[in-house]
Structure 1
């Protein structure tokens, strides 16, 4: 689509490490816009890799913010060459990937499946649930695979590229396409049950936040600065709430995308906007509970009493869940284009433009440790398993697992 070809993809490609719009198009300040120099950490923890591996080759570089999905002892990943893979969470060993092949000694019941997942490119990370893995592609094709074997269950077609990971929730698979439409597909066979269509602004950040649910409603952030709540059964809108008003004299200044991960609490939803606003919303009626003039392009992490996010300048903020007041901020990672924070035990973990992972103490925001996954940007939010293992992947498919560091 021509409209999407004009979108500022470089915003989240982290190629420049710039922190201002002026810097994206060239700026004479040079070094002042480079990622902040990393300083020595006092009494650091020592994160260690339990295992690491490379997914695919250089031609299979991952797309925008594709993150792993975890279910039980399995890890599911996708790459931009059309492959979906299941890996052992504890070892990183491949359990199944593309074309169907049986391996093992004669008489063995151990099966490794290889099945072609999608014709073309997988552009959205995988969604997992109900024993299924679902991924979408550049041509709008959606494929559902059996999580245990990799066998194909069904295929469906939506109207545009799928960037966000699908949501598997109850009897629906919720899929966002890149033209503003969201589809509710039958979990059993992929037939289309409903479509929600919302117009898009002329210019926006390339990327769509993943649908999330509280078991009742499905929530989506949109490029016009709003959050929408849909009924999962029929796709009807329950409520809509503006997070940030698009303001400015031109389309660039008016970008207010809600593209990062939404955080669902008990009766509240938290959303942050590229325009620099964070909002707490009642899930019952969409009423704002509080707002804060701090926001960003990535999403939010939710802890017991606080919500944490990174702003465009690379400052990490912890905000009180009940009031939005700032509890602490960490400015030592300036201009590093941080991912959405992940919660690993007592730590928050973010990836950056230079391939570093940073461990930050959730209690007070102090820097606790770091490790370099590679030299390519980490764009996808790190994921944490129920056993506390952190999985991180960079833009060229380097994947590593980290147990929770000892204090």
Structure 2
């Protein structure tokens, strides 16, 4: 199978959990044809700074997304490190080591912390870092567990969604769906809201499951697979869906970005796009960084194009984050780019540690939290 240059980052086919997965290991295979855009000097950048930095450990071949809850930032690393940081200062409140290496995290509600380990291990701790229970998923876990008041929900690579009792680890319910011949090997997370857990599915589908029993509330197609080959038909959801007010919004690889009614699944709007990362949503806009390095903004109510910034071409961008007057996005060299929320113009740039930012940034109080592949956790603020 020939992988073309426009399929950014697809480098090999790996047989995992009974299906083939596309691994994102070499984003610059065709860098001579599609070189990353050079960064230009920004005149009169907006005042911004790094409030604090902290090193938690390398991500390796995985992605670890920081989680914010109860005034703290929870982070993890491939070597098994799990840490709770004070959001305002970055001061470590506790640091522990899981029994084995980790592949996914962090899921938390502030009281319970859950991570995924090698070969499908799942470790669950209380808010002080004490191990509550551990269990074994049916296959590898790449996405952060989702946590409600009563459940820890895990999605494994074989597309099995399992809910465990948050206190005891007893399995409460599960649902398993089949997968296409090829899927993205990505950390597409889940989100808990409105009594549901919203779960990305292969082939561009989104499903809402009732927390009480795992029964599907609705299932919608974000984008229908198209093309003559299995590779052309890959249209998996990238990143975690976002629930905002009455909308749930998400985007797919080789497909669309769109918003749906979070209670019924009725489509509000959808636009053509291709991305393997998630979307950012605020009161007015939906933001998505596409596979060519463009950052796009759409009106949340109707999907009208608000603006497009194409100055970061082929820089392998992270999920964006909306923060005050800026939209921020990380890249493969660890830069955080600050764009105007209103018109997309470039307003500033902040350096981290030179390694890629792949995980979704988070907002914690008056700062944005970014975690790099080398393990730097940085809190960035904009005046």
Q: TM-score, normalised by structure 2?
A: 0.92
Q: Which has the higher strand share?
A: 2
Classify the secondary structure of the residue corresponding to 2:296: strand
1:346-365 aligned at under 5 Å gives the runs 346-365=325-344
Look up the match of 2:277. Answer: 298
Classify the secondary structure of the residue corresponding to 2:73: strand
* Distance in 2 of aligned mates of 1:232 and 1:34: 45
* Distance in 2 of aligned mates of 1:384 and 1:259: 20
CA contact (8 A) 1:276 1:311 kept: no
Determine if the alignment matches structure 1 residue 402 to structure 2 residue 380: yes
CA contact (8 A) 2:224 2:255 kept: no
CA contact (8 A) 1:125 1:135 kept: yes
Choose which of 227, 248, 262 in structure 1 pairs with 2:206: 227
Return 1-10 or 358-367, whichever deviates more: 1-10
Q: Deviations over 1:364-405 (max 9, x none)?
A: 1111100121221111111110x22111111111222122x2
Look up the match of 1:204. Answer: 183
Q: TM-score, normalised by structure 1?
A: 0.86
Look up the match of 1:253. Answer: 232
1:7-406 aligned at under 5 Å gives the runs 7-10=21-24, 13=25, 15-17=26-28, 24=29, 27=30, 30-56=31-57, 60-98=58-96, 116-117=97-98, 119-129=99-109, 131-147=111-127, 149-385=128-364, 387-403=365-381, 405-406=382-383
Change (3 A) 1:62 1:389: farther
CA contact (8 A) 1:169 1:215 kept: no
1:77, distance to aligned residue in structure 2 (A): 0.7
Q: Deviations over 1:190-212 (max 9, x none)?
A: 11000110111121211132111
Unaligned runs of 5+ in 2: 1-13
* Distance in 2 of aligned mates of 1:207 and 1:33: 23
* Distance in 2 of aligned mates of 1:49 and 1:283: 35
Return 334-343 or 209-218, whichever deviates more: 209-218
1:130, distance to aligned residue in structure 2 (A): 5.4
* Distance in 2 of aligned mates of 1:232 and 1:153: 21
Classify the secondary structure of the residue corresponding to 1:290: strand
CA contact (8 A) 1:156 1:191 kept: no
Q: Deviations over 1:63-91 (max 9, x none)?
A: 43311111233211111111211122233
CA contact (8 A) 2:254 2:274 kept: yes
Classify the secondary structure of the residue corresponding to 1:48: strand
Classify the secondary structure of the residue corresponding to 2:32: helix
CA contact (8 A) 2:225 2:255 kept: no
* Distance in 2 of aligned mates of 1:300 and 1:130: 24
1:216, distance to aligned residue in structure 2 (A): 1.8
Classify the secondary structure of the residue corresponding to 1:123: strand
1:31, distance to aligned residue in structure 2 (A): 3.4
Structure showing greater radius of gyration is 1
CA contact (8 A) 1:308 1:318 kept: yes
Q: Deviations over 1:203-237 (max 9, x none)?
A: 12111321112222111111221001101111111
The total of aligned residue pairs comes to: 369
Q: Deviations over 1:254-287 (max 9, x none)?
A: 1101132212122221121101311221223222
* Distance in 2 of aligned mates of 1:370 and 1:253: 35
Classify the secondary structure of the residue corresponding to 1:139: helix
1:61, distance to aligned residue in structure 2 (A): 3.4
1:6, distance to aligned residue in structure 2 (A): 4.7
CA contact (8 A) 1:63 1:79 kept: no
Determine if the alignment matches structure 1 residue 2 to structure 2 residue 2: no
Classify the secondary structure of the residue corresponding to 1:227: strand
CA contact (8 A) 2:56 2:83 kept: no
1:144, distance to aligned residue in structure 2 (A): 1.4
* Distance in 1 of aligned mates of 2:47 and 2:247: 35
